[in-house]
């Protein structure tokens, strides 16, 4: 971190500031120019309140020269992280196809979809039991009973499963869940992230509706700094002024996250677009952008889905999508 002091700062003021910074266990390198003095701060600057430093009367400007995320940072971990989910690998050239309904509705529904997506090439089954709905009157998911049905579909299909946690109190229900999802709305629920960091479960962390990529990486850091390094990042679209699509899929997130971090990156074109007709094109674009996997909503009867039917593919559409993605991956390899 670099702090540039205002022209006219006295030596006594400079010395006072240096002592203050040293008390935070930082080394301070001083460079006196003709007009300005520059302080180079070396050490763990993650605890420095950049706004506070910037607001001091003698400080002209403060710049971070290193990212505040450490464990998720590729600089300190150059090789890709590969996450093993019940034998299925994600990242470092291993591609995940996660598919299933938005929410688990009945045993027949989740099992039928599980078998269908598996036959088409999915290697992980998704299904929501705890649903974060905008309206408190909308279907909230089958909760505990939903997890039990998902476990039955796991047994029937042999696919590892992913489902969302909304409250840490439900953690014991997730014992046989292979990946715990933190949804967009909880990306900055820091208590939840820290508690999940104390587990060893792979966590799929979705980008918040209005969060920057740096904020996403800082949230990953909350999990990792507690000891759980099994974090998968997920781009699922962000809020913009465009309303034709449910969200705006920020595909540049894929190469940016790969540049900044060693963690695997998954793209969810279903929540990004909100429209089944757009999902295959954006999934294909995500593969071309280098994603480590996709997560797609599939329902055996989208017209009757209790949640997100409009963006759900039928098993036949999902099958066609997989054939297309395999070809794109071959070209990309
Ligand atoms: C989901 O994947 O079921 C979901 C609710 O997604 P998001 O958190 O991205 O809205
Ligand atoms: Mn959904």
- Lining ligand 1 with CB less than 6 A are 102, 128, 132, 164, 183-185, 206, 236, 271
pLDDT per residue as tens digits for the range 109-140: 999 999 999 999 999 999 999 999 999 999 99
- Give Cα separations from 259 to 186, 239, 252 (angstroms): 25, 23, 11
Write the pLDDT tens digit of every residue in 176-229: 999 999 999 999 999 999 999 999 999 999 999 999 999 999 999 999 999 999
User: Which of the four pLDDT bands, split at 50, 70 and 90, describes residue 107?
Assistant: very high
Q: Is this prediction's pTM over 0.75? A: yes
pLDDT tens column, 46-55: 788 999 999 9
pLDDT > 90? residue 65:
no
Residue % of the chain over a pLDDT of 70: 100
Map out the domains of the chain with their CATH numbers. Answer: 2-63 (3.30.70.1140), 83-332 (3.20.20.70)
CA distances from 103 to 109, 149, 244 (A): 10, 11, 24
pLDDT at 90: 98
Integer-rounded Cα Rg, in Å, for the chain is 23
Number of the ligand closest to the Cα of 131: 1
Best residue for ligand 1 mutational test, from 248, 271, 279, 309 (most atoms within 8 Å of Cβ): 271
The pick from 232, 268, 299 for probing ligand 1's pocket by mutation, whose C-beta has the most ligand atoms within 8 angstroms, reads 268
Higher pLDDT, 332 or 179: 179
CB 276 within 8 A of CB 302: yes
Tell me whether residue 304 is exposed, middle or buried, using C-beta atoms within 10 angstroms of its C-beta: 0 to 12, 13 to 18, 19 or more.
Answer: exposed
Query: What pLDDT is attached to residue 34?
Result: 79
* DSSP calls for 210-234: T--HHHHHHHHHHHHTTT---EEEE
User: What are 243-262's pLDDT values in tens digits?
Assistant: 999 999 999 999 999 999 99
Q: In degrees to the nearest 10, what's the CA dihedral of 172, 174, 178, 183?
A: -120
Question: What is the C-alpha to C-alpha distance for residues 318 and 121, in angstroms, rounded to an integer?
Answer: 9
CA-to-CA distance for 126 and 183, rounded, in angstroms?
Answer: 13
Entry field: residues in the chain: 333
Closest ligand by atom to 133 CA: 1
333 pLDDT exceeds 90? no
pLDDT, tens only, 35-44: 889 998 888 8
Does residue 45 have a pLDDT over 90? no
Cα–Cα dist 85/176, whole Å: 12
pLDDT of residue 251: 98
Neighbours of ion ligand 2 (CB under 5 A): 102, 308
pLDDT of residue 70: 87
Nearest ligand to the CA of 183 is: 1
Distance separating alpha carbons of residues 104 and 250, to the nearest angstrom:
28
């Amino acid at each position: 971190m670099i702090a540039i002091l205002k022209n006219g700062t006295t030596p006594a003021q400079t010395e006072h500031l240096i002592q203050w910074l040293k008390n935070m266990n930082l080394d301070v390198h001083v460079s006196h120019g003709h007009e300005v003095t520059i302080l180079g701060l070396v050490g763990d600057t993650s605890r420095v309140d950049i706004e506070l430093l910037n607001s001091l009367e003698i400080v002209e400007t403060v710049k971070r020269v290193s990212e505040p995320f450490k464990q998720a940072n590729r600089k300190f971990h150059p090789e890709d992280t590969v996450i093993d989910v019940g034998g299925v690998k994600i990242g470092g050239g291993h591609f995940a196809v996660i598919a299933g309904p938005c929410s688990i509705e009945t045993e027949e529904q989740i099992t039928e979809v599980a078998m269908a997506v598996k036959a088409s090439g999915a290697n992980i089954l998704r299904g929501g039991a705890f649903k974060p709905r905008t309206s408190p009157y909308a279907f909230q998911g089958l909760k505990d009973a939903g997890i039990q049905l998902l476990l039955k579909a796991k047994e029937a299909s042999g696919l590892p499963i992913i489902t969302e946690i909304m409250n840490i109190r439900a953690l014991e229900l997730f014992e046989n869940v292979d990946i715990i999802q933190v949804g967009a709305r909880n990306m900055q629920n820091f208590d939840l992230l820290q508690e999940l960091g104390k587990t060893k479960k792979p966590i799929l962390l979705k980008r918040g509706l209005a969060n920057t990529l740096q904020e996403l990486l800082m949230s990953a850091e909350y999990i990792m700094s507690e000891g759980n390094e099994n974090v998968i990042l997920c781009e699922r679209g962000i809020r913009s002024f465009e309303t034709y699509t449910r969200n705006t899929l920020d595909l540049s997130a894929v190469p940016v996250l790969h540049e900044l971090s060693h963690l695997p990156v998954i793209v969810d074109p279903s929540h990004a677009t909100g429209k089944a007709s757009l999902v295959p094109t954006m999934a294909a674009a995500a593969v071309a952008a280098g994603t480590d996997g996709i997560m797609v909503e599939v329902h055996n009867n989208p017209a009757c889905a209790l949640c997100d039917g409009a963006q759900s593919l039928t098993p036949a559409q999902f099958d066609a999508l997989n054939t297309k993605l395999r070809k794109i991956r071959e070209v990309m390899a």
